[in-house]
Amino acid sequence: MRTVKKVTMINKLLKTVFGHDKFRAFQKEAVDTILSDKDLLTILPTGGGKSLCYQLPSLIKDGTTIVISPLIALMQDQVSALKNNGIKAEMISSAQDYQEIQNITQKLILGEIKLLYIAPERLSANGFIDLLHQININFFVIDEAHCVSEWGHEFRADYRNLSKLKYLFPQTSISAFTATATKKVQEDIVNTLGLNNPVQLRGKTLRDNIMINSKKRVSNGRNQLLNFLQKHEKKCGIIYAFSRKDVEATAKFLQDKGYKADAYHAGLSNEVRNGVYTDFSYENIDIVVATIAFGMGIDKSNIRFVVHMSMPKTMENYYQEIGRAGRDGLASETLLLYTKSDEIQRRMLIDNLDNDEYKNLMYSKLNKMYSFANSNECRHKKIGAYFDDDLEECKDLCDSCNRGEVESQDIKTECMKLLSAIYRCEQKFGINHIIDILRGSQSQKIYQFNHDNLSVYGIGKDLSKHAWIAVSERLFELEALDIGEFKAIKITSFGLDILKGKIEVNIDTEKLQSVKKERNVAINLDVDDDIFEKFKELRKEISTEANVPAYIVFSDKTLIEFVNKLPTTKDEALDINGVGEVKFEKYGERFLKLCMEIVNY
């Protein structure tokens, strides 16, 4: 139960340290749980404010909070932001030298650190557990907790080893956080970590400030990219590409077009990658073109767009990557460019995996990703369904819901033909072979299995291969089909009902005709662009002087409130979201001066 004194302390820290007047969804519940020394699992979308859930109670509780996080870049951002707010935070990582780690260790033993960030493998380092037993740990935090689960998309062995924490520190509570977890992964996290009757908080997957678009890629997609970027001039964004070669080629293309862009991938030296990361954080460049090596550790709040030049391998990856956009809650946009060849490339990589069970899991995840990309249903609703979250259609936050009236046609008969062919082949073959049967192909494989003698052989000659692929994709989208072992197509119970003629199936006519309409939806931040640029310039100037990333000074959301309210006193400035006492003392007077210059202009 909260005491009046504790409530007052929480609200004061929320405002003075973090600059917020109120909690976001589930933050208050998470803070209360941690302060009650209970185990916690919190699943909130990227941008939902997970960090505050454990940083605030850490300031109230005696002792040190140990935060286990997967990437150095993520830890660096968190520690930098905390220090900028006057909080004693440090990290220990492989990137530091012996003397630096020793200095931090000494401060840790003396109780001079409130939050210590470490990578999971640090727990296996010689003597580190003994060190932890020497200090007063108030609670453990496990960030990106989905990495614990073998059913997730980013399983890591070092995370699996975190199961020993409860054994080694039985009296210390654990708070686990992630943005991406199906109900199955959620259950696996709880069981693996041995959480003791944990409070489980699960937010909605809907990111209601993000416009989601998915389009079939035309050629290399660069003209589509330029068309998209015209709506986001001078805005910060990330562009994901499939390979290092694609990354460098796309970055060079954008540089030649006058964009402030640079490449980032694992093949570059640490010095080059760190330079690109710093330039992006300090807003010396607007766009980073990257492989998935970039993104997980990005705490930058004012990313206005995310583009995928090819299809990600799973919905978890996709949801996490588009989650980089709009962490400040302001309007943002994403674009996914894809073709069937993306799915084939991803499938070939899965083919090389050794574990058959994991391989089949990844085939299924890939199939759901392609079904999402190719769908005309509400994209937010599709994401929600994947993560077991029942959402209403977004109405106007995705290209599917914005496309207006679309002509559709009945394909019930075609679906029954395709399902019948799969059934008669005993559900042992891939979709291309099934289509070859329907179209009466004379390939060697057809004769090898005597499939030319099937009653369904040749009954689909009237449709092109493309049209049959569209029919199969519609059935996958409806989850009437699934991928079984060795990529064989399986019919689900819903598919059997379609096969029996119990369910009507429609498809957009344009899907069969391979016609794709382009729609542009402008993103409006509702702010005077010229004045906003003046505040951005001041923020960049301060960030350079203070040697901190620009978004750590103030977020775009805070700058927009400055522009719209133009405060001229300290009290007025402190009413702005994101301006606490600590930051006002550091930067407030200079921003007030700019406000008065604009007011008196």
| CA separation for the pair 574, 19 (Å, rounded) | 8
Whether residue 503 has pLDDT greater than 50: yes
Whether residue 521 has pLDDT greater than 50: no
pLDDT tens figures, 24-47:
889 999 999 999 999 999 999 877
pLDDT tens figures, 102-152:
999 999 999 999 999 998 989 888 889 999 999 999 999 999 898 888 776
Contact assessment for residue 539 and residue 583, using Cβ atoms and an 8 Å cutoff? no
Q: What is the pLDDT of residue 175?
A: 97
Q: Which residues pair with 508 in a beta bridge?
A: 408
pLDDT tens figures, 148-207:
887 765 667 788 889 899 999 999 999 999 988 888 899 999 999 999 999 999 988 889
The model's pTM: 0.69
Q: What is the pLDDT of residue 566?
A: 87
Non-local (6+) Cβ contacts of 68 within 8 A are: 117, 118, 119, 120, 123, 140, 141, 142, 143, 162
* 546 band by pLDDT with thresholds 50, 70 and 90: confident
Non-local (6+) Cβ contacts of 142 within 8 A are: 68, 148, 159, 162, 174, 175, 176, 177, 193
For the residues 259-281, what does the mean pLDDT come to?
90
For the residues 378-390, what does the mean pLDDT come to?
91
Q: What is the pLDDT of residue 84?
A: 87
Map out the domains of the chain as residue ranges. Answer: 4-202, 210-401, 408-513, 529-599
Query: In the chain, what are the helix, strand and coil shares in percent, each to the nearest 5?
Result: 50, 15, 40
Least confident residue range of 8-17, 194-203, 418-427, 519-528: 519-528
Whether residue 532 has pLDDT greater than 80: yes
For the residues 421-437, what does the mean pLDDT come to?
91
First to last CA, the chain: 52
Q: What is the pLDDT of residue 295?
A: 54
pLDDT tens figures, 42-75:
999 877 789 999 999 999 999 999 999 887 777 8
CATH classification of 210-401, choosing from 3.40.50.300, 3.10.150.10, 2.160.10.10, 3.40.630.30? 3.40.50.300
Whether residue 256 has pLDDT greater than 70: yes
Q: Which two tokens stand for residue 264?
A: 């980032």
Fold of 408-513: Arc Repressor Mutant, subunit A (1.10.10)
* 450 band by pLDDT with thresholds 50, 70 and 90: very high
| CA separation for the pair 121, 548 (Å, rounded) | 28
CATH 3.40.50.300 fits 4-202, yes or no: yes
For the residues 308-333, what does the mean pLDDT come to?
91
* 525 band by pLDDT with thresholds 50, 70 and 90: low
Fold of 529-599: DNA polymerase; domain 1 (1.10.150)
Whether residue 248 has pLDDT greater than 60: yes
Q: What is the pLDDT of residue 508?
A: 78
Q: What is the pLDDT of residue 520?
A: 39
Residue 424 has a CB neighbour count (10 Å cut-off) of 15
Does 4-202 match 408-513 in CATH topology? no
Percent of the chain at pLDDT exceeding 90: 45
Whether residue 522 has pLDDT greater than 60: no
| CA separation for the pair 318, 365 (Å, rounded) | 11
Q: What is the Rg, in whole angstroms, of the alpha carbon atoms belonging to the chain? A: 26
* 349 band by pLDDT with thresholds 50, 70 and 90: confident
